[in-house]
Structure 1
Amino acid sequence: MEGLYKSKLYQNYRGVLISLFDLMAVFLSYVFVFFMDNNFFLEGKILHITPYIIYGMIFVLVLHLISQILFRTHKTLWMYTGPNDVVRYGLSTLFCMVIMLGFTLHFHLFHVSLIFMAETLAFLIIMGSRLLYRSFNRHSMDVDRKKNALIIGAGNAGYIMMNEIYRNKRYPFNVVGFLDDYKKKGTLISGKPVLGTVEEVASIAKEYQVDQLFIAMSSVTREQKRHIIELCTDTSINTKIMSFTLENDEPSNVQVEDIKIEDLLNRPSVDLKIDEIGSYITDKVVCVTGAGGSIGSELCRQIVHFHPRKLVMIDINENTLYMLEQEFMRDKRNHRMAEDIEILSLIVSIREREEINKVMAYHRPDVVYHAAAHKHVPLMETRPSEAILNNVFGTKNVIDACIENGVSRFIMISTDKAVNPTNVMGATKRMTELIMQSRETKSPIKMAAVRFGNVLGSNGSVIPIFKEQIKQGGPVTVTDKNVQRYFMTIPEAAQLVMQAGYYAKHREIFVLDMGKPVKIWNLAEKMIRLSGYVPGEDIEIKEIGLRPGEKMFEELSLEIEKCHRTDNDLIFVHEPVNISQSDIDARLKTLRRIADDSMDPKHIKEILLETIKCD
């Protein structure tokens, strides 16, 4: 059977073969009914094939061929035959039956009863062959179904999920039943019972020795979805979630994926004002520094949706920048991105003042998003001079180049660690905020910094580290059982940065509402359960102590109390501080001297923390 599917004949002419099969079924149905009407010529009658009979059969076959094209019955896969296909074939048969009745009444070729019988028989043969094939295919895949699965949701999505399991060799499971809050216990869905409510998932999964959970629910709120996922993950049974479109239940639109940790975090939905963002990006030249990084690359992906004239992507890491450029080239070829957007990748270090200035002078960007920075806290503690030269002076180079070359809007990525910083990375980011707010300019450039916390899944963040530790069998290492952090997804962060960019007027610092802080220990437990293990039993969680420069709690929520809300409920704004450029420039001289001359990390950090004080 696999050989047939892979053959060029099947791949190139599948629709034609199915169409011929269906026409043959129609032909045989009419022949059988014709013979039956004549008692199979057992009473001495002689079969006469007249021109009217030949013309009539040609008309029947052409009519059914037209019906196949209209109702696309030759396009469906037999393995996926379902209620929608039965309805489609039924309508096709009804269409042919009505036309044939009119044809018969006009030419008096067949009896009306024979039309009903022939069309009904053809429908039964065509649908029966498909359903028989589907049953045979499902039976042939039942041999190794030793593990039990439970489907959460007994509606359309649950039905499609069950079919996906039994027709796809990737899921060698036996479905024991469904859980649903709105279907009565004992109700059968395609032969499988509703075993109880979603709240009973733990007890029912234990009773039926379930090895796999599938969540398949199409109409639930975000909060309900999160609650269901939490109930499933608490069982420590591997759980997958299904997404699909009900408008067309073909298998290409069914996706079954692992649950992401983002699904368990209570994140508010982002309310983007598309017109506001488009007003300063559409048909403009936009530049992103650090474009190969997690935030920078997502910013680029979001920016192209607003159709800039040119996107200039700057990074010192050639590999990540090249891969991002290739991604955009694929999007253009597949018509997922406007072909007239000019994409330009430039290998440039922000530490090279003259090079950055040349880039800005040549390309004359209207908008610059500055995401380039060293961000890993422990690494910057051991090399504070590198953090100062890259984060502080590199950012100053970009700001100066923007001012000198008439950039109209400059948006800088900052961090919650810039609030009362205790580590080098946070202190350098605070220093860049002071640089931005102190610049004296004649041009009407709008500048702003955007602060937010940890980003889920970014390079080097806790999520990929935990995943790798779980993959290795543990232990999962947490600095302290009580440490808390704020989290948001990469797309959320990029979208809110772009929205904050619209609000930029004069050197503001925007603070993003990160929601409620998350205990890292609890995050580790949830990730272990998502992987199908029991924390503390299958995978150990181990405390290793706070790393140099780390806080137990970030202070973003305290900052929000000092801010006022913008038009977007998730974006708050600090009023700019009153600080002179000469003051900041004097501090920068001190920082430059200590970064160039000293090799003592502790001494450099002390000077840095002293330099950022403003009271």
Structure 2
Amino acid sequence: MIIIKAGWRRIIAAVHDFLAVIVAWWLAYQLRYDFQVSTEHQVALWNTLLWVLPAQAGIFFLFKLYRGLWRYASLNDLKQIFFSVALGAITVAAIILPFELPNTAPPAILVLAPMLLLLIMGGSRFAYRAWKEQRKQSLKHVQLQSTIVLGSGDAAANLIKELKRSHDWQVVGLLTEKASKLGAQLHGVKVLGMIEELPEWVEKFNISHVIIAMPSASQALRRSAIEICASIGIKPMIVPSYVDLVSNKMTVSPIRNIDLGDLLGREPVLLDTKGLHGLLMEKVILVTGAGGSIGAELCRQILTFKPRLLIALELNEYALYGIKEMFKAEFPEIPAAFLIGDVKDSARLDQIFEKYQPDVVFHAAAYKHVPLMEQDNAWQAVQNNVVGTYVLASTAIRHHVEKFVFISTDKAVNPTNIMGASKRLGEMICQALQQSARKLQQQSQRRAQFVIVRFGNVLGSTGSVIPKFKEQILRGGPVTVTHPEISRYFMSLQEASQLVLQAGAMQGSEQGGDIFIMDMGEPVRIIDLAKDMIRMSGLHEDEIKIVFTSLRPGEKLHEELAGENESTLPTPHKKLRITQSRLVDEQWLHKLVIWFGEQSALTDEATKLALTEWVPEYQCQQTNAMTTDQHGIA
């Protein structure tokens, strides 16, 4: 039935345009001769139409004018009409003028007729669209959602066009951050006032929705707009940023709900695509911990650079299944291998490296949850994060990989917990193994270059505070925060993964084993994060209580990106710096390997004591509780 309707629409549109050719040609004669056309010129009119009409119709079909719908007529449709009419005019003139045929149109007609035809064809289409939209709006007037758009730039203009096309929204007006734009109009919608006047306009027009269309605005301005919305009980939506667009995160709708990334206001990462193509394209890439948050996002980013093969290594069967299904849906054309394996299993790793011969390794597998690893699981954390790193990195050297990227953490700086200390030990192992790799190069074998990347907390990653807060808010509270002053560095999962890749693509220093630290911006107080999430949920702080508990064992009030004895140097990328830290040698590594070989399962206390010997900067804390007067409810 739909196909039949579409066919009739095309026939009607074609008939309309054929009649338009006749009317334009007739009207051109009338205007040329002041509506007193002689019999001789009338004969010329109809004689020329006998071949002008089929010629022009053929050109209309050549330009596929009847595939679009008039109700969606756009500038692109007008452009197609213009070129088809222009080509028709040139064709007619090319036949008439050189040969001076009898009973043909005079030159003035050859100019007037195309102009009139363009006016009739274009005007009728846009008139139909205007009538259709007006009719649709009148029918749905009761269901329209009234909204104010914050912003007055290109994003706001494009948004208004999209909302008008949807027929579900009524854009009452725009509010701007630029006083110079007051009173201006975008697609018929007026700039009413400044953003800080939002409460007045919401009350005046009974607004139900607010959309923030300022993707390039500063973090402070976006945050201010969100806080104004929260103060009047409106949950705003936002136009996706450039980062969302290029990463295919935008849905069909041009707007989405506010997320924490909008509040943090992180600048998009500008990647050295040439360097990343050299690192990843047509290479065999191995990612450990591929089923985790960081590992899965790394895989997504890597696949956009079209590796020859991506190897996803994961110990957790369900996590591996999940990422395999994601690959099948999003990247069905990229070859990939999904392997169960433990990074501590040397035999399994040798089997994988011999079969697939990876060129680059991204080591993301780790135990990262601080409180969980601090009590009852300390030795397992060290086994996985330290021994696993050594076994994997040694295997990579034996099989002559080009680059080994070890993903570390800001908690490795002056560590106060098992997770941070084990990650710092992993960094030191990679630096010591770089010397072994350098010896292979001297033997004319391919050298493995080690790269270490530190970053802070990732928004929404598995085990992070964000999912926990969401769950607590859904239950109606309370939201638990360990300390009123505790703060952390945060970045998006996408940004962290992009910078890991960017660090991997850099040459680094001559000796290798460089530690890259990311520009994490300003630290965020966890209590502010909790308040933001409560507001973003459409609730008030008096509805969801915030309860302070106490600092957990091994937990710091504030994280650091570099230690007191570490200096940093800039890199060509403004969001990455190289840290110069204390180095260890092969002899130190040999002693560490012997020590691990002599150990059985250690208690938490014995593990922490041993780590103070191997990682001098580790500050072992058995307890770290708050005083009684620090407990309370916000």
Counterpart AA for 1:259: I
- Are residue 410 (structure 1) and residue 409 (structure 2) matched? no
Asked if the contact 1:81–1:130 (Cα under 8 Å) also holds between the matched residues in 2, the reply is: yes
Query: Measured at CA, do residues 531 and 432 of structure 1 come closer, stay the same or move farther in structure 2, by a change above 3 Å?
Result: same
Distance 1:544 1:85 in 2: 63
The within-5 A match list for 1:5-404 is 7-9=2-4, 14=6, 17-29=8-20, 56=49, 59-60=52-53, 63-64=56-57, 66-67=59-60, 69-70=62-63, 72-82=64-74, 85=77, 89=81, 108=103, 112=109, 120-145=119-144, 147-155=145-153, 157-168=155-166, 172-180=168-176, 181=178, 184-217=181-214, 222-224=216-218, 227-236=221-230, 237-243=234-240, 255-333=254-332, 342-382=335-375, 383-404=377-398
Partner of 2:632: none
Counterpart AA for 1:374: Y
Measured after TM superposition, the shift of residue 186 of structure 1 is 4.0
Measured after TM superposition, the shift of residue 95 of structure 1 is 5.8
Partner of 2:560: 555
Measured after TM superposition, the shift of residue 592 of structure 1 is 6.5
Query: Measured at CA, do residues 547 and 575 of structure 1 come closer, stay the same or move farther in structure 2, by a change above 3 Å?
Result: same
Measured after TM superposition, the shift of residue 329 of structure 1 is 4.2
Partner of 1:477: 480
Query: Measured at CA, do residues 508 and 193 of structure 1 come closer, stay the same or move farther in structure 2, by a change above 3 Å?
Result: closer
Please give the secondary structure, in 1, of the residue aligned with 2:141. Answer: coil
Query: Measured at CA, do residues 541 and 23 of structure 1 come closer, stay the same or move farther in structure 2, by a change above 3 Å?
Result: same
Measured after TM superposition, the shift of residue 176 of structure 1 is 1.6
Query: Measured at CA, do residues 31 and 272 of structure 1 come closer, stay the same or move farther in structure 2, by a change above 3 Å?
Result: closer
Distance 2:220 2:93 in 1: 56
Pick the aligned partner of 2:550 from 520, 523, 545: 545
The within-5 A match list for 1:557-572 is 557-558=562-563, 562-572=567-577
Measured after TM superposition, the shift of residue 285 of structure 1 is 2.7
Gaps of 5+ in 2: 31-41, 442-447, 619-634
Gaps of 5+ in 1: 39-48, 334-338
Query: Measured at CA, do residues 114 and 312 of structure 1 come closer, stay the same or move farther in structure 2, by a change above 3 Å?
Result: closer
Partner of 2:502: 499
Pick the aligned partner of 1:604 from 607, 614, 618: 607
Please give the secondary structure, in 1, of the residue aligned with 2:208. Answer: strand
Asked if the contact 2:565–2:581 (Cα under 8 Å) also holds between the matched residues in 1, the reply is: no
Query: Measured at CA, do residues 354 and 129 of structure 1 come closer, stay the same or move farther in structure 2, by a change above 3 Å?
Result: same
- 1:257-290 deviation digits (Å, cap 9, x = unpaired): 2233223324354343333344444443322211
Measured after TM superposition, the shift of residue 455 of structure 1 is 1.4
Query: Measured at CA, do residues 240 and 86 of structure 1 come closer, stay the same or move farther in structure 2, by a change above 3 Å?
Result: farther
Query: Measured at CA, do residues 559 and 257 of structure 1 come closer, stay the same or move farther in structure 2, by a change above 3 Å?
Result: farther
Measured after TM superposition, the shift of residue 347 of structure 1 is 1.1
Counterpart AA for 2:174: F
Measured after TM superposition, the shift of residue 520 of structure 1 is 1.6
Asked if the contact 2:343–2:388 (Cα under 8 Å) also holds between the matched residues in 1, the reply is: yes
Asked if the contact 2:430–2:513 (Cα under 8 Å) also holds between the matched residues in 1, the reply is: yes
- 1:213-235 deviation digits (Å, cap 9, x = unpaired): 12335xx7x45476235323432
Please give the secondary structure, in 2, of the residue aligned with 1:195. Answer: strand
Please give the secondary structure, in 2, of the residue aligned with 1:574. Answer: strand
- Are residue 526 (structure 1) and residue 545 (structure 2) matched? no
Q: Which moved more, 1:433-442 or 1:416-425?
A: 433-442
Please give the secondary structure, in 2, of the residue aligned with 1:372. Answer: coil
TM-score, structure 1 normalization: 0.80
Asked if the contact 2:566–2:579 (Cα under 8 Å) also holds between the matched residues in 1, the reply is: no
Partner of 2:521: 515
The within-5 A match list for 1:426-437 is 426-437=420-431
Distance 1:120 1:276 in 2: 52
Distance 2:527 2:392 in 1: 39
Distance 1:550 1:424 in 2: 10
Partner of 1:44: none
- 1:424-457 deviation digits (Å, cap 9, x = unpaired): 2112112212322334624233223221111123
Query: Measured at CA, do residues 499 and 173 of structure 1 come closer, stay the same or move farther in structure 2, by a change above 3 Å?
Result: closer
Measured after TM superposition, the shift of residue 133 of structure 1 is 1.7
Query: Measured at CA, do residues 143 and 391 of structure 1 come closer, stay the same or move farther in structure 2, by a change above 3 Å?
Result: same
Measured after TM superposition, the shift of residue 243 of structure 1 is 4.9
Asked if the contact 1:488–1:514 (Cα under 8 Å) also holds between the matched residues in 2, the reply is: yes
Partner of 1:490: 493
Distance 1:557 1:203 in 2: 47
Query: Measured at CA, do residues 482 and 203 of structure 1 come closer, stay the same or move farther in structure 2, by a change above 3 Å?
Result: farther
Distance 2:471 2:386 in 1: 33
Please give the secondary structure, in 2, of the residue aligned with 1:194. Answer: strand
- 1:534-572 deviation digits (Å, cap 9, x = unpaired): 4x1344333333233211100215569622233333323
Asked if the contact 2:562–2:579 (Cα under 8 Å) also holds between the matched residues in 1, the reply is: no
- Are residue 447 (structure 1) and residue 450 (structure 2) matched? yes
Query: Measured at CA, do residues 102 and 477 of structure 1 come closer, stay the same or move farther in structure 2, by a change above 3 Å?
Result: farther
Asked if the contact 2:409–2:423 (Cα under 8 Å) also holds between the matched residues in 1, the reply is: yes
CA RMSD across the alignment: 3.9
TM-score, structure 2 normalization: 0.78
Measured after TM superposition, the shift of residue 372 of structure 1 is 0.6
Distance 1:79 1:477 in 2: 53
Partner of 2:37: none
Distance 2:24 2:362 in 1: 75
Distance 2:277 2:571 in 1: 18
Number of corresponding residues? 576
Please give the secondary structure, in 2, of the residue aligned with 1:375. Answer: coil
Fraction of identical pairs, as percent: 32
Please give the secondary structure, in 2, of the residue aligned with 1:150. Answer: strand
- 1:356-393 deviation digits (Å, cap 9, x = unpaired): 12222333322221111111112112321221222222
- 1:75-130 deviation digits (Å, cap 9, x = unpaired): 44444345555565566556656766888996747894888767655544443223
